[in-house]
């Protein structure tokens, strides 16, 4: 394997995030040196032309990743759940979360936390899967999942095309959710995008990734993530894995596409 690098971009409006700037965009990749320039340019163009606004703070970080640092995890099975509106989508998200092991009260608490955001966070909230209480003390920063990539980008692109999943949103979400699901102490994840034109969200756990077409209002620039974790989870170890551990996601050689029209994961 050729030498790999972690490439990370973050962009804000009104100054750096740490100085109170409003989060605009972020992106992650693990890739060989030969692809760094083109990937960095694509990330910069994305930040400067984002639908959430024009960024005036941009940061690119490039770090070498040694083979000893790398971990791998499989891509989650993907399930597409039809829903006609936000109300139905959130009912189905609640149903999926409880089937994945999140207490109903905690799942409702997570949905309300995301729905109550006045603007998007940079990262995710850690929420107890039993009580629904927020466990991290990161404020608006949250826990940002970092150092993620595809083990075989070309094969992953082909797999997405074969399964009629196009666009940067689903590609990045699948990689991130696959890393998150493998985290120590993780139960499930709930997410909807902060991109105004993208209303699809998802619920994910080790059992699979459930896409829901309508989880927020079209045109809303507010989105976020909730990570539901076990009450006894080691938060320090969890945060170290999510933010610092380099993970490549393996695409299965053959995965059946599942369209679940009336129910979510069994």
Judged against a pLDDT cut of 90, whether residue 88 lies above it is answered with yes
Name the residue among 79, 24, 18, 34 with its Cα closest to residue 260: 79
> Which tokens in the block code for residue 10?
């973050």
How many Å is the maximal CA-CA distance in the chain? 49
Give the residue, 96 or 196, on which the prediction is more confident. Answer: 96
- Whether the per-residue pLDDT at 89 is higher than 60: the answer is yes
Per-residue pLDDT tens for 243-257? 999 999 998 765 444
Strand partners for 64: 5
| Angstrom distances, CA of residue 56 to CA of 45, 53, 117, 225 | 13, 10, 23, 24
pLDDT band at 1 (very low <50, low <70, confident <90, very high): low
- Give the mean model confidence (pLDDT) for residues 159-187: 90
**Count of all residues that appear for the chain in the document:** 266
- The Cα–Cα gap between 251 and 191 comes to 22
160 within 8 A of 168, measured Cβ to Cβ: no
The whole-angstrom separation of Cα 94 and Cα 215 is 11
Please state at what angle helix 168-181 crosses helix 153-162, rounded to 10 degrees. 110
Query: Does the pLDDT at position 14 exceed 80?
Result: no
Question: Could you tell me the CA-to-CA distances from 85 to 107, 125, 216 in Å, in that order?
Answer: 19, 25, 9
| Mean per-residue pLDDT of the chain | 87
Q: How confident is the model at residue 260 (pLDDT cuts 50, 70, 90)?
A: very low
Distance CA 31, CA 149 (A): 7
Conformation bin of residue 9: beta by default, left when phi > 0, alpha when psi is -120 to 50:
beta
Whether 6 shows a pLDDT value over 90: the answer reads yes
Does the pLDDT of residue 161 top 80, yes or no?
A: yes
Cα-based torsion angle of the residue sequence 255, 146, 223, 231 in order, rounded to the nearest 10 degrees: 90
């Amino acid at each position: 394997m050729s030498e790999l690098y972690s490439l990370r971009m973050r962009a804000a409006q009104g100054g750096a995030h740490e100085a109170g700037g409003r989060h605009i965009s972020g992106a992650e990749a693990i890739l060989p040196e030969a692809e760094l320039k083109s990937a960095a340019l694509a990330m910069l163009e994305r930040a400067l032309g984002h639908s959430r606004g024009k960024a005036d703070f941009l940061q690119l970080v490039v770090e070498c990743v040694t083979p000893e640092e790398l971990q791998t995890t499989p891509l989650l099975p993907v399930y597409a759940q039809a829903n006609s509106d936000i109300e139905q989508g959130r009912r189905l998200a609640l149903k999926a979360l409880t089937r994945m092991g999140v207490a109903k009260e905690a799942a409702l608490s997570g949905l309300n936390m995301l729905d109550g955001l006045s603007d998007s966070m940079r990262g995710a909230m850690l929420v107890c899967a039993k009580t629904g209480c927020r466990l991290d003390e990161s404020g608006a920063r949250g826990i940002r999942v970092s150092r993620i990539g595809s083990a075989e980008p070309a094969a992953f692109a082909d797999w997405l095309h074969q399964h009629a999943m196009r666009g940067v949103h689903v590609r990045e979400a699948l990689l991130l959710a696959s890393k998150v699901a493998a985290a120590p102490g993780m139960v499930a994840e709930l997410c909807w995008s902060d991109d105004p034109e993208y209303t699809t969200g998802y619920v994910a756990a080790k059992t699979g990734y459930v896409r829901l077409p309508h989880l927020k209002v079209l045109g809303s620039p507010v989105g976020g993530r909730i990570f539901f974790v076990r009450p006894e989870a080691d938060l320090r170890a969890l945060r170290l894995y999510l933010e610092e551990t380099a993970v490549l996601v393996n695409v299965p050689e053959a995965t059946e596409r599942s369209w679940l029209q009336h129910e979510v994961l069994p």
